[in-house]
Structure 1
Amino acid sequence: MTTAPRTVHVRVPATSANLGPGFDTLGLALSVYDELEVTALAPGQLEIEVSGSGAEEIPRDESHLIARTIRYCYESVGVPAPGLRILARNGIPHGKGMGSSGAAVAAGVLAARGLLAGRAELNDTDLLRLATELEGHPDNVAPALFGGLTIAWTENGAPQHKKLLVHRGVAPVVFVPDRTMSTSTARSVLGPEVSREDAVFNVSRSALLIAALTQSPDLLLSATEDRLHQESRSVAMPETFALVGALRERGFAAVVSGAGPSVLVLADGPGGRLEAAEVARAATDGSWTALMLAVDFLGGTVRDQIDARMEPVGDGS
């Protein structure tokens, strides 16, 4: 009797990192998703099908990010990697500042966890460590894995995270342009130093932002002020910063989403984000799409073909 190849199904949310002042630290999971079906094949085989955002640009060979991530996870536990069949449906916009690469890495480590079940265990700490080693920063992969609002930091060389529940009055909307921006390009314009005054300013706003997102959405406009990275990036994304400025002038908590060029507004209710969409429509040239979203509280999920239950990654911590 032959055993059917093991197949796992994975879903991971989009993320928005930084949220204004929380550079490389804060991240928020959003209700746009990449979905993945991965089947273990005989060693040496690789089949990749991709649909949705960025499908025409994504490689179908060994350099595919999810395939590389799964192999990396197998190597980390000393188990020979199998061949892979990967069917990916990308709902997260690529190159727009919504964590598409972080989501791919998160999906890969989750798929590896599912495929390795019964042979080797990857706990939540392992997932975050492996994903951070591949992505470089934990601020996108932490919310993609665990959902909600996450604070990410490094302690003794190891990435850590704390998940927080967002106030139900917070209503996100993301304005997505038809152009892209690479993270490396966005980072290249940042200076090597900041003044003490600006550092203290951002510390105060980051602390305030936690309170605003979890308890007091009425403070979001002040809490999303930033002096650390956004202004430096304006030269690379003038249309983005024109939209951020137009929205903030009207009282909306608008920030660059991740590395850009999308703009995230953290409205204090569904009516607020509809008003923000009207402002954005008047301030842009029609090449922007408004995504009315919710905060994703579940994070990444993985289930086995044999077991229809969808299992979230973390325990809510």
Structure 2
Amino acid sequence: MRPSVAVRVPATSANLGPGFDTLGLALSIYDELTVTVLDEDRLVIEVEGSGAAEVPRDGSHLVVRAIARTFESAGRRMPGLHLQARNVIPHGRGLGSSGAAVASGIRAAQGLLADEVTFGDDEVLRIATDLEGHPDNVAPALFGGLTIAWTTPAGPAHKKLLVHRGVSPLVFVPESTMSTEVARSLQPAQVPREDAVFNVSRSALLVAALTQSPELLLAATEDRLHQDYRAEAMPHTSALVRALRAEGFAAVVSGAGPSVLVLADGPGARLEAAELAASVVDAPWEALMLAVDVKGGTVREPAEGST
């Protein structure tokens, strides 16, 4: 077993408007983790950054659970570990912080076991989905880029796609948080057939817009399946999305919210969207001008470059 590994995992934005529980995009904000094997059978957990005051410091920590599950899948016993986590991805803001934690743990376990065990992508995604509950956030966190995720009788599956270089992501992050469980509870069990058909068409169009035709992003990000049902729980988010879309910007709720993702069709349009948002909101929002991450979760020895 390797003595120590360093991991970096990107933030993610899921749904992307119409692609509910299916589409996800990796973004260039990163959580970093260093894991060192201890001689003693104990856990030492150090956390700094977002959520540091709230996350547990024992075996219930999501990163530790992911490491343990990966070791179990390999038929190995998890050793004592020292975890040093630097959390940059905002917690509870719809940017995939829990998916990143799961991906971090899995990649760390892979790195520690790299000389003994080889994990395929399907196995990695299965472990991650078992822990996260659905694959739309963990797939881009693990593999990067734009991912389409779905489930089969044999388990979860994904397809990674390269995003058109003209797509310029912009994320507005508020001070407030939103629970994914609360957001999901606002979803109806059934939706009108015409709304379902509408979202099928827009989801297909969105894949084309993100990979080939960014000029179609506004139409491609229309949604009737989930955002309107959650609007009352996130009034400031909903108002910002409406204001941006009214001016032609492809704005959507990021994941379960309350952050807002804008998929601009170029750096100039992204700057215009940021200026517009600053003029219409009456609460503090942090504007993050990001890139699409293409690598996903990476692992290296602490003194080396990422692999």
- Structure 1 length as normaliser, TM-score? 0.94
Whole-angstrom CA distance in 2 between matches of 1:16 and 1:98: 5
- Which aligned pairs between 1:292-307 and structure 2 lie closer than 5 A? 292-305=289-302
The reply to whether residue 151 of structure 1 matches residue 116 of structure 2 is no
The reply to whether residue 192 of structure 1 matches residue 189 of structure 2 is yes
The reply to whether residue 263 of structure 1 matches residue 260 of structure 2 is yes
Question: What secondary structure sits across from 1:39 in the alignment?
Answer: strand
Shift of 1:309: 4.1
- Which aligned pairs between 1:60-209 and structure 2 lie closer than 5 A? 60-209=57-206
Q: Which moved more, 1:97-106 or 1:62-71?
A: 62-71
Contact 2:150 2:157 in 1 (8 A): yes
Match of 2:216 among 215, 219, 223: 219
Contact 1:43 1:81 in 2 (8 A): no
Question: How many residues matched?
Answer: 307
**Identity across matched positions, percent:** 69
Whole-angstrom CA distance in 2 between matches of 1:231 and 1:66: 33
Whole-angstrom CA distance in 1 between matches of 2:64 and 2:277: 38
Q: Which moved more, 1:265-274 or 1:68-77?
A: 68-77
Whole-angstrom CA distance in 2 between matches of 1:216 and 1:305: 40
Contact 1:6 1:305 in 2 (8 A): no
Q: Which moved more, 1:218-227 or 1:59-68?
A: 59-68
Whole-angstrom CA distance in 1 between matches of 2:306 and 2:241: 37
Contact 2:34 2:302 in 1 (8 A): no
Contact 2:111 2:300 in 1 (8 A): yes
Other-structure match for 1:253: 250
Please tell me the residue identity of whatever aligns with 1:268.
D
The reply to whether residue 16 of structure 1 matches residue 26 of structure 2 is no
Query: Structure 2, unaligned stretches of length 5 or more?
Result: none
Q: Which moved more, 1:135-144 or 1:123-132?
A: 123-132
Whole-angstrom CA distance in 1 between matches of 2:293 and 2:302: 24
Shift of 1:43: 5.0
Shift of 1:91: 1.1
Shift of 1:157: 3.9
- Structure 2 length as normaliser, TM-score? 0.97
Whole-angstrom CA distance in 2 between matches of 1:95 and 1:283: 24
Shift of 1:66: 0.4
Contact 1:15 1:99 in 2 (8 A): yes
Q: Which moved more, 1:19-28 or 1:270-279?
A: 270-279
Question: What secondary structure sits across from 1:51 in the alignment?
Answer: strand
- Which aligned pairs between 1:21-36 and structure 2 lie closer than 5 A? 21-36=18-33
Please tell me the residue identity of whatever aligns with 1:10.
V
**Segments ≥4 residues shifted beyond 3 Å:** none
Deviations 1:166-204 (A, max 9, x none): 011100000000011110011010000011101100000
Deviations 1:93-126 (A, max 9, x none): 1110000000000000000101112232222221
Question: What secondary structure sits across from 2:233 in the alignment?
Answer: coil
Question: What secondary structure sits across from 1:37 in the alignment?
Answer: strand
Shift of 1:58: 1.2
Deviations 1:133-191 (A, max 9, x none): 10011100000111110000011241111011101110000000001111001101000
Whole-angstrom CA distance in 2 between matches of 1:198 and 1:158: 28
Other-structure match for 1:310: 306
Question: What secondary structure sits across from 2:7 in the alignment?
Answer: strand
